[in-house]
Amino acid sequence: MNELLLIQDTGSVRIVMMNRPEKRNALNTALTRDLLDALRASDADEAVGCVVLTGAGQGFCAGADLAEFKDLTPEFQHRVEERAELTMQLHLAFSKMAKPVVTAINGAAMGGGAGLAIAGDLAVMAESAQIGYPETRHGLVAAIVMANLVRQTGRKRAFELLSLGESLSSRQALAYGLVNRVAPDADLLSEALAVAEKLSNTNAAAIRATKQLFHEVADLPLEEALKRARETNKRMRAFQK
């Protein structure tokens, strides 16, 4: 257990819970670093088949902790650069992991928190939860989370979310393709765990190769994507038992 993260293994599923409920799990530097380390450690742990990411309390994640912004100024450029790099690595980690990640969006997911909510391979959202990118309303830019949002929901919808800063309900998020399922609030974690257990019980080599190929082909021209797929296809027999 870490005071910023609550980590629990249920069979081969690891639950990673952000634990700053009094701050709606806002991402300060310490939590960002611990979360990145926890994801990497889970990926390296042979006993873990799938990760469920959620938040303690009423919110999933409120995004960046604005209280730290006073120290992220041009006068402290090294801090600005270190934090930006850390944030980028956190959002990149999900696609680099061999293990699948299910996000259980238990409450508001805003800004960087919205980026985390959709960064997982599958997402289950509580009925009462909301998701949004309110940065422009604070004179900011949803910079690092932008690339993944555009890839998942398309250019027009992504720009609307980024520019207007309006939140989506769980049903709207489902319609936009940002989440896979909506569950009653009381059933959210059990629903996410059920999905995670199915993933964990799937052939690990097949899941690993599927995830790797999925992220490779998503942004490739068709011919190059098919060539990558051909190479994976030739390795398929390795998955046979």
Q: What's the CATH class of domain 5-200?
A: alpha beta
Q: Quote the CA–CA distance of 216 and 227 in Å, as a whole number.
A: 11
The predicted structure's pLDDT at residue 218? 85
Model pTM score: 0.92
The residue among 82, 63, 68, 211 whose CA lies nearest residue 145 is 63
**Strand-pair partners of 61:** 109
Catalytic residues: 135
Q: What is the chain's Cα-based Rg? A: 18
Secondary structure (3-state) at 73: coil
The predicted structure's pLDDT at residue 234? 74
Amino acid at 104: A
Mean pLDDT value across residues 65-74: 70
Q: Counting Cβ atoms within 10 Å, is residue 158 exposed (0-12), middle (13-18) or buried (19+)? A: buried
The residue among 49, 136, 43 whose CA lies nearest residue 97 is 43
pLDDT tops 60 at residue 241: no
pLDDT tens digit sequence for 135-174: 999 898 999 999 999 999 999 999 999 999 999 999 999 9
pLDDT tens digit sequence for 167-207: 999 999 999 999 999 999 999 999 999 999 999 999 999 99
Mean pLDDT value across residues 55-69: 89
Q: Quote the CA–CA distance of 142 and 161 in Å, as a whole number.
A: 10
The predicted structure's pLDDT at residue 179? 98
Secondary structure (3-state) at 101: strand
Q: Let me know the angle formed at the C-alpha of 212 by 13 and 35, rounded to the nearest 5 degrees.
A: 45
The predicted structure's pLDDT at residue 46? 95
Q: Say if CB 48 and CB 106 are below 8 A apart.
A: no
From first CA to last CA, the distance across the chain in angstroms is 37
Mean pLDDT value across residues 124-144: 95
